[in-house]
Amino acid sequence: MRNIYFRKLKESIIRAFFFTNGILVVFILMGIFFFLLYTAIPAFREIDIKEFFTSKNWNPTSPVKEEYGILAMIVSTFLVTLGALVIAVPIGIGVASYLSDVAHWKVREIVKPIIEILAGIPSVVIGFLGIVLFGPAIAKISGQSHGLNAINGSILLAVMALPTIISISEDSLNAVPRAYKEASLALGASRWQTLVRVKIPAALSGIIAAVMLGMGRAIGETMTVLMATGNAPAFPSGFLSSIRTMTATIAIELGEVPYYTTHYYALFAIGLVLFIITFFVNLISDLVLHKFQEREL
Amino acid sequence: MNKKKFIEFLGFFSLRICVYLVLAVILLFVYDIGSKGVGSINWEFLSQAPRKGMTEGGIFPAIIGTFLVTIVTAILAVPLGMFAAIYLNEYAKQTKLTRIIRLSIRNLSGVPSIVYGLFGVILFVNILKFGTSVLSAGLTLGLLTLPWTITASEEALKTIPNSYREGALALGATKWQAIRTNVLPYALPGMLTGTVLGLARAAGETAPIMFTGAAFYLPMLPKSLADQFMALPYHLYVMATQHHAISQVRPLAYGTALVLIILILLMNLAVFILRFRLRRVIKD
């Protein structure tokens, strides 16, 4: 009898061990949030919270009057993200449709690994290519002295978002029941009509989730925008202006700021805003995808 | 009828253009880095430290630094990821708590890498007083990699048929005995290959290590985990944007980028070959 009790005890200890590892991720996520919050709060002893979000001027090292407004960075982040989505969404859905509906399986087997290579290229290398490849080209076309601006960042972020958008969109297109396609073709629709009016609408929630996921990545991406967008801390006036995103500001200034100053805390406050924005973008993407999967079942 | 056909032709043609465009961009990337980087790569470049204000010499300390920090990353992320995956796939029932855990994993994989960097500064550098070091940077990257290793390990566990578990349980084995003898031996290779892919991605990250331990330039290799280090991705960033003579060191930057890409592709290739082999072994 003792043996059985011992065995049961051992089993429950093992189970508890694995459970501890499983639950750890919840604590890590909460830990990130609370540590950021805890380090961000002291910033607002000296900065007016309303000014923080609505002022366009970020000038923490000014000898006359320090200013902590992040509106220009938020707008810059969304501008460069918007540009990326405008480029990546149509191309991504196009490639996904081609792979799921048009391409011969042999073509698919070749193209998919090549796109996966793209997903494996580190962001710092993509940023480097923005400097050496796209920058000079954009400068030539636009007639500006250099090509480090919002559109450069948008192109690079689009390239980085493409593998995510393509693979999830393709999965959701493949998950559309065959019967939909067959019914449409049987009614006399062409393959193109079937794709555009039946399959893509049926897969729409999956595609939206893919786009949201790509958007979350683009908002939080640091190295590419840091290297390719010029980092002028002014309010952006368009896609050809040099911009500075939230992520780039943290990357540029955290290395030089003295610890435990208002400036230091303010950088963590930017990090907190970034965390909250990407958290909700990912959450919405997750809910949309979940709904989509439930409906399929 | 002809109009319909014409529209279909046009539509499929434009889809094909999308594919060509993406492939062209990838080829352009690979060609540009390959052709301009290959000239800088020689034995001296791979085996020596930078010299003369980083305008000459090699990237040896950066290669070693990236290697060391990836080992620390693996020590944190691989076992934790595997254990968490075992819990989720083998023990967890469909409860609210399980859903919260899964939601947390997906959300963690969406947290921006620079936010992990900030968290690393607070927790590892300041609170735990590891300073800016190999250890702090490796642990920060470990947290970043964790959601990927969990997901990859769980995918591997999912491929093991339930009959394996049931067979052991029917013979009187306990749950853990069933997992240890009938699940893990078959899932382990898949778990390992999946986690190597996660580590390859971590090795290319820059933002999380910028403030937790990567150094602009160091004349010597790190002697312990408490030392700062040079890393390939950060070195590329420095050579591309921070160096005082950027155009002069451009060939070195290209060389660094090529080495970084080759390193990551090699890790991917190893996984690809390993998977192919394992699939054949299992079939036999």
CB spacing of A213 vs B118 below 8 angstroms: no
Q: Which of A217, A226, A138 is nearest to B240 (CA)?
A: A226
With a CB cutoff of 8 Å and minimum separation 6, the contacts of A154 are A80, A81, A82, A83, A84, A86, A87, A239
pLDDT at B96 over 80: yes
Give me the percent of chain A exceeding a pLDDT of 90.
Answer: 65
Q: What token pair was written down for A269? A: 């406050």
DSSP β-bridge partners for residue B56: B51
Q: Among A39, A95, A226, whose Cβ lies nearest the Cβ of B22?
A: A95
Per-residue pLDDT of B119-133, as tens digits, reads: 999 999 999 999 999
pLDDT at B283 over 60: no
CATH superfamily of B41-283: MetI-like (1.10.3720.10)
Distance in angstroms (rounded) separating the CA atoms of residues A127 and A121: 10
Per-residue pLDDT of A221-244, as tens digits, reads: 999 999 999 888 888 888 888 999
Per-residue pLDDT of B255-268, as tens digits, reads: 999 999 999 988 88
DSSP β-bridge partners for residue A243: A230
Flag whether residue B217 sits within 8 Å of chain A, measured between CB atoms: no
Contact in structure between B265 and A117 (CB atoms under 8 Å)? yes
For A91-126, what is the HEC assignment? HHHHHHHHHHHHCCHHHHHHHHHHHHHHHHCCHHHH
Q: How far is B205 from chain A (nearest CA, A)?
A: 7
Q: How far is B223 from chain A (nearest CA, A)?
A: 23
Mean pLDDT on A93-103? 93
DSSP β-bridge partners for residue A68: A58
Amino acid identity at A187:
L
Q: Which residues of A touch B237 (CB under 8 A)?
A: 124, 127, 223, 226-227
Quickly list DSSP for A57-71.
Answer: -EETT-SS--EE--H
Q: Among A25, A103, A190, whose Cβ lies nearest the Cβ of B8?
A: A190
DSSP β-bridge partners for residue B57: B50
Find the distance separating the first CA and the last CA of chain A, reported in whole Å: 46
Q: Regarding beta strands A58-59 and A67-68, do their DSSP bridges make them parallel or antiparallel, or are they unpaired? A: antiparallel
Distance in angstroms (rounded) separating the CA atoms of residues A214 and A194: 26
With a CB cutoff of 8 Å and minimum separation 6, the contacts of B110 are A213, A216, A217, A220, A278, A279, A281, A282
Handedness of CA A21, B193, B279, A171 (dihedral sign): positive
Per-residue pLDDT of B163-222, as tens digits, reads: 999 999 999 888 999 999 999 988 988 888 888 889 999 999 999 999 998 888 887 788
Flag whether residue B220 sits within 8 Å of chain A, measured between CB atoms: no
Per-residue pLDDT of A35-66, as tens digits, reads: 999 999 999 988 889 989 988 889 888 888 88
Distance in angstroms (rounded) separating the CA atoms of residues A276 and A269: 11
Give me the percent of chain B exceeding a pLDDT of 90.
Answer: 64
pLDDT at B35 over 70: yes
Q: Which of B233, B216, B106, B125 is nearest to A268 (CA)?
A: B125
pLDDT at B75 over 90: yes
pLDDT of residue B145: 95
Residue tagged 């902590």 (tokens): A68
Distance in angstroms (rounded) separating the CA atoms of residues B34 and B37: 5
Q: How far is A47 from chain B (nearest CA, A)?
A: 20
Contact in structure between A53 and A276 (CB atoms under 8 Å)? no
Flag whether residue B173 sits within 8 Å of chain A, measured between CB atoms: no
CB spacing of B114 vs A251 below 8 angstroms: yes
**Cα atoms in the 13 Å half-sphere on the side-chain side of A32:** 30
Mean pLDDT on A258-279? 94
Distance in angstroms (rounded) separating the CA atoms of residues A272 and A274: 5
- DSSP letter, residue B87: I
Q: Which residues of A touch B105 (CB under 8 A)?
A: 25
pLDDT of residue B280: 64
Q: What token pair was written down for B225? A: 């985990």
Amino acid identity at A44:
F
Q: What token pair was written down for B284? A: 């036999």
CB spacing of B112 vs A114 below 8 angstroms: no
Element at B77 (helix H, strand E): helix B60-86
Domain ranges of chain B: 41-283
pLDDT at A297 over 50: no
Q: What token pair was written down for A17? A: 């061990």
For A145-161, what is the HEC assignment? CCCCCHHHHHHHHHHHH
